[in-house]
Structure formats: structure tokens, C-alpha cells
Chain A
């Protein structure tokens, strides 16, 4: 329990670093840290596979993409402007709203209704069997989504080159 609060606090701190740091590279590295810590939380929930996939896909692939894009656009350190602070206020409002929502949810929910975990919960086998039987349609649709992502990226990158 202590471990959970410790990890949660660290996660929150690095998430704040992502949002508040002026240098985009630092933000990206803070994001790696945040995602890694979330993976640690998954491990504590016995979801090993999800934890590893979290690190591979997010910390490994997505953040590399972010870093490349930052290099590509050569984003300078962020300058505080009126517009940024407006967005910040809106963001804060949403955070508050979300916090209230969570609090309501936590109060209303009856913890005694929680179910026992089935045997082998979080194991690769169980997850895979669910994914490839019940989740078959969404699995196949994912491939279409990925296809669209590839084609879209190529089309946008090429238009820049030609013009």
C-alpha cells in the first residue's frame, strides 16, 4: 500500500514535470518517466504483459516519435504567453472537474461489491485468449486503424516535400 502511494506520487510529480517544464525535450523525458512508472503500477496489479507492452509501445516507440518530431520542428523553449495561460486555466478547470468526478465515483461505489480475481488474472494466456476470441473484431479493426495511420503519415510527409 505504501509502495502504491509512493509510485503514485512519483508518477504525479513526473506528469507535472511534463506539463510545466518549458523545454520540450525535458517534457518528453518526463513523459518517459511517467509512462515507466505507470508500467510499475501495472506490475503491482499483476498485469505483467500490459506493463511490458506499456513500456515497449509508449516509452519505447511513442516517445521516440515525439522526440523525433521535436527535433524535426526544432521547437524552441516554450515562451509563456497570454494564450498559453488561457489554455492552462482551461486545463486546470478540467482537472478540477475530473477530481470531483473521481471523488463522487469513489464515494458512491460500494467496495464490498468487488469481485474475486479469476485464477491466472493478468497472465498472457488469459489475456490472449480473450483478445483473440471475444475481441476478434476490434483486433482486426486495429489493423485498419494502423493502415490509415501509415498512409496518412506518408501522404502528409510527401506533400511537404513536393511543395
Chain B
């Protein structure tokens, strides 16, 4: 049995079941149009403006780029961990250098205060 076919079947089944549930809700639930009801919820006040005018702080971007960098690093770790026993000291050295370089990066980010969320 190819496990990927199994995954495909599971995904399809999940989507179908979720679709059936939504369909049942559509059939059974009331459908009453109401202007106030279909407004955006802003704790009871009339909605002000739109989210299209909002700009987010740069720290979200910093978090994302830190994540991308460390994620790529971790991605290298997985195959390395799998063959670690065969690589032995050589592998240990390789990974130590790799991690050390990125630790410098983390230290720099920490030092300049980009990890402070304020």
C-alpha cells in the first residue's frame, strides 16, 4: 500500500465530511437577512473604516524572517540527525560549525534588541 495514496484518500474524505457538515448546517440553519447582523463585529459599535487601512509593525516581519532562517537551519538538521551515527565525529564537527555560525546570528539579533517585543 502506498502511504501517499492513503493520505490522498484521507484528505479527500476529510474535505467531503466537512463539506457535508457545512451543507447540513446550510439546510438546517435559519437564513434571516439582517443588516446589523452581517456587519463586522466591533464589540457593538458601528464598524470604523476597514482593515485595508491598517499597517502592521515591522516586528512581525522580523519574526517571520528569523523563522525562515532558523527553519532552513532545522531543515538541514533532520537529514543530518538521520545519518548522524554513520557520520560520527566528522558530522558532529560539521554541525557544530553550522550551528555556531547561526548562533552568532542569534547573538547579534539579541544584542541589537530585535528580540524585544515592545
Contact = CB atoms under 8 A, between A and B. Distances in A.
Interface stretch (B20-28, B33-41, B81-89): B81-89
A57 B61 CA distance: 16
Interface residues of B, number: 45
B65 to A, nearest CB: 4
A158 B57 CA distance: 12
A61 B52 CA distance: 24
Interface in A112-163: 124-125, 127-129, 131-132, 136, 139-140, 142-144, 146-147, 149-151, 153-154, 157-158, 160-161
Nearest to B81: A128
Contacts of A61: 64, 67-68, 71-72
A153 B76 contact: no
A107 to B, nearest CB: 33
Given A68-B56, A139-B76, A142-B76, A129 B83 contact: yes
Given A71-B60, A74-B54, A151 B108 contact: yes
Nearest to A75: B52
B118 to A, nearest CB: 11
B9 interface: no
B102 A68 contact: no
B75 A139 contact: no
A43 interface: yes
Identify whether the interface residues of A are mostly helix, strand, loop, or mixed: helix
A124 B72 contact: no
A9 interface: no
Nearest to B8: A40
A97 interface: no
A161 B104 CA distance: 23
A160 B55 CA distance: 14
B12 interface: no
A65 B64 CA distance: 5
B109 interface: yes
Contacts of B64: 61, 64-65, 68-69
List 7 A-B pairs, minimum CB-CB distance, nearest first: A128-B79, A143-B101, A128-B83, A153-B65, A65-B64, A150-B105, A68-B64
17 contacts: A43-B4, A49-B78, A65-B65, A71-B55, A71-B60, A74-B54, A74-B56, A124-B82, A129-B86, A131-B79, A132-B87, A132-B91, A139-B98, A142-B76, A149-B68, A153-B62, A158-B114
